Amino acid sequence: MIDIHSHILPGVDDGAKTEEDSIAMAKAAVEQGIQAIIATPHHKNGKYENDRETILSNVAILNELFANENIPLTVIPGQETRINGEMIEDINNGTLLALNDTKYLFVEFPSGEVPRYSGKMLFDIQVAGYTPIIVHPERNRSLIEDPSKLYDFVRKGALTQVTAASVVGKFGKNIQKFSQQLIEANLTHFIASDAHNTTTRGFCMDEAMHEIKRQFGSDYFYMFLENSQLLIDNMNVNKMEPGMIKKKKFLGLF
């Protein structure tokens, strides 16, 4: 299994704090059946900045550490960038880092809103030759209240990634329900852990994938597994025709 979203690099954001934390996370990942993991530290989210060269250097150090510890986990470079007006400039100047240096680029929205310029930015990213992947849309209040926004983004070429912990209810039943609706409506293309530690924000990948297989069948189960491999190989991922979700407002969610 490949996990395309994690905060396993030590001391760079709100994920692993020390190398010991990274080792603990790596061992937990292997127990989940994960053989490769993309390190996606936060970038330009108002608190953390992790540019391309910093991430590449830290990933190399962590891979060497895991090899010395005999942990069978390969760390792949990536970045979780908060949407901002400088993204195209940063693509051009080389500070943004696509996942495994492919055409796939993570885009994070603020948890409570979708900025007005998001549609234009997602389009511009595609014009620049990249495919934007909207991370954890199931935890965005604006998208929960009006899923048609996400439908429009996906219809126009964006992809999305739902968090494994959301699928199994770790963020509450409302977010779990919305996650299931996104899967059913073909509005998400990847399941990933977004793991930050081994306690409060763990992996949950094995549990989530088994839940998806139980609820939605083997086709979805294998699609999500294959899409992560296709992503790191820089190949086109599997997509099904997106469907609309009725507008729902989960009162008291935030």
What per-residue confidence (pLDDT) applies to 248?
55
Cα–Cα distance measured from residue 219 to residue 151, given in angstroms and rounded to the nearest whole number: 21
207-221 b/e (C-beta count within 10 Å ≥ 16 → b): bbbebbbeeeeeebb
What per-residue confidence (pLDDT) applies to 245?
87
Dihedrals φ, ψ of 14, to 5°? -90, 15
What per-residue confidence (pLDDT) applies to 247?
59
Angle between helices 218-232 and 205-216 (to 10 degrees): 130
Domains within the chain, CATH numbers bracketed? 2-232 (3.20.20.140)
Cα–Cα distance measured from residue 72 to residue 75, given in angstroms and rounded to the nearest whole number: 10
Question: Is the Cα dihedral 93, 96, 100, 104 positive or negative?
Answer: negative
What per-residue confidence (pLDDT) applies to 253?
45
Token reading at 200: 């409060």
Token reading at 38: 């993309």
What per-residue confidence (pLDDT) applies to 165?
98
Which residue has tokens 């219809």? 155
Spatial CA neighbour of 24 closest among 43, 10, 3: 10
Helices of type H across 74-170: 87-93, 118-127, 141-145, 148-155, 164-167
β partners of residue 135: 161
Tens-place pLDDT, residues 62-119: 999 999 999 999 999 999 999 999 999 999 999 999 999 999 999 999 999 999 999 9
User: What residue ranges of the chain have pLDDT lower than 70?
Assistant: 246-254
Q: Is residue 138 within 8 Å of residue 178, measured between CB atoms? A: yes
Spatial CA neighbour of 95 closest among 46, 56, 133: 56
